[in-house]
């Protein structure tokens, strides 16, 4: 029998590190930065009033247990697009840059940023995964030196944001789906079993579970319980 030579073609599987942002890399929500920009610059007051008029009643409905946490947060993330309606991509860059450079600096978690930088130094594929506006998530990723990012994409019409979203909001279990779709589109092969994931909320269960080394970072009560049940690492460690 003729010996078969090994194929010169093989797939290189990369180790990855997936990071949530709010509560994980920061101790504040990035959407507050978006609102702070428009408040500081005295713009989009009607959009802000409309946002509050829609979502404050939903807040109390959620508190009463009449809608789920996910059904409360998904429209919240989607309707942030109202603030950018009519902005070109170039005009919106001013907003994203302000949030990253002016709003977020006091809220970074230095300890988890150090973990992210360690993954970058080790040559791991680092991706930010957030429900926030995708252009803002990408701006944060650039600031941190992370080459990959997924978030909620805002839709465009004639080169301007039209106040809607493109596709599904990147939230809860859809965060993991968005991350996988991104990897597939870009031809990136990841060894998920050797990869790491970092998040702070039980709503991020799917993102944490997609990697072989999940880490509950400053976990909320739900994630603290889930981590204990599944034997997931908690950071910072207790005691």
Taking residue 75's Cβ as centre, other Cβ atoms within 10 Å add up to: 14
Is 25's pLDDT higher than 80?
yes
| Cα radius of gyration rounded to whole Å, the chain | 19
- What domains does the chain contain, in order, with CATH numbers? 16-235 (3.40.50.1000)
Output the furthest CA–CA distance in the chain (Å, rounded). 79
First to last CA, the chain: 63
Q: What are the angstrom distances between the C-alpha of 115 and each of 61, 106, 215?
A: 38, 18, 11
Mean pLDDT to the nearest integer, 205-232: 96
Span 132-144, pLDDT tens digits: 999 999 999 999 9
Is 5's pLDDT higher than 50?
no
Span 44-53, pLDDT tens digits: 999 999 999 9
DSSP assignment letter at 22: B
What is the structure's pLDDT at 11? 61
**236 cis-preceded (ω within 30 degrees of 0):** yes
Classify the phi-psi angles of 36: left when phi > 0, otherwise alpha if psi is within -120 to 50, otherwise beta.
alpha
Average pLDDT, the chain: 93
Span 103-122, pLDDT tens digits: 999 999 999 999 999 999 99
The percent of residues above 90 in pLDDT, for the chain, comes to: 85
Q: Which of these, 103, 105, 108, lies nearest to 35 by C-alpha position?
A: 103
What is the structure's pLDDT at 213? 98
What are the tokens at 26?
Answer: 């920061």
Q: Which contiguous run of DSSP H or E holds residue 184?
A: helix 173-185
Q: Which of these, 82, 75, 95, 76, lies nearest to 136 by C-alpha position?
A: 95
């Amino acid at each position: 029998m003729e010996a078969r030579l090994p194929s010169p073609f093989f797939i290189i599987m990369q180790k990855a590190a997936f990071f949530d942002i709010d509560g994980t890399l920061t101790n504040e929500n990035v959407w507050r930065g978006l609102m702070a920009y428009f408040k500081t610059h005295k713009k989009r007051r009607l959009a802000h009033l409309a946002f509050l008029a829609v979502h404050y009643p939903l807040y109390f409905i959620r508190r009463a247990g009449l809608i789920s946490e996910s059904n409360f947060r998904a429209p919240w993330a989607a309707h942030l697009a109202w603030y950018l309606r009519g902005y070109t991509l170039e005009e919106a860059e001013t907003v994203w840059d302000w949030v990253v450079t002016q709003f977020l600096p006091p809220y970074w978690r230095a300890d988890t940023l150090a973990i992210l930088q360690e993954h970058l130094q080790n040559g791991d594929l680092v991706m930010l995964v957030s429900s926030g506006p995708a252009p803002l998530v990408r701006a944060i990723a650039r600031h941190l030196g992370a080459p990959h990012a997924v978030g909620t994409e805002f839709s465009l019409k004639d080169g301007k944001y039209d106040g809607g979203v493109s596709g599904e909001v990147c939230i809860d279990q859809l965060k993991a789906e968005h991350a996988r779709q991104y990897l597939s589109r870009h031809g990136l092969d990841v060894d998920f079993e050797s990869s790491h994931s970092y998040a702070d909320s039980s709503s991020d269960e799917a993102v944490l579970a997609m990697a072989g080394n999940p880490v509950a970072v400053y976990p909320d009560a739900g994630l603290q319980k889930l981590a204990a049940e599944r034997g997931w690492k908690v950071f910072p460690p207790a005691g």
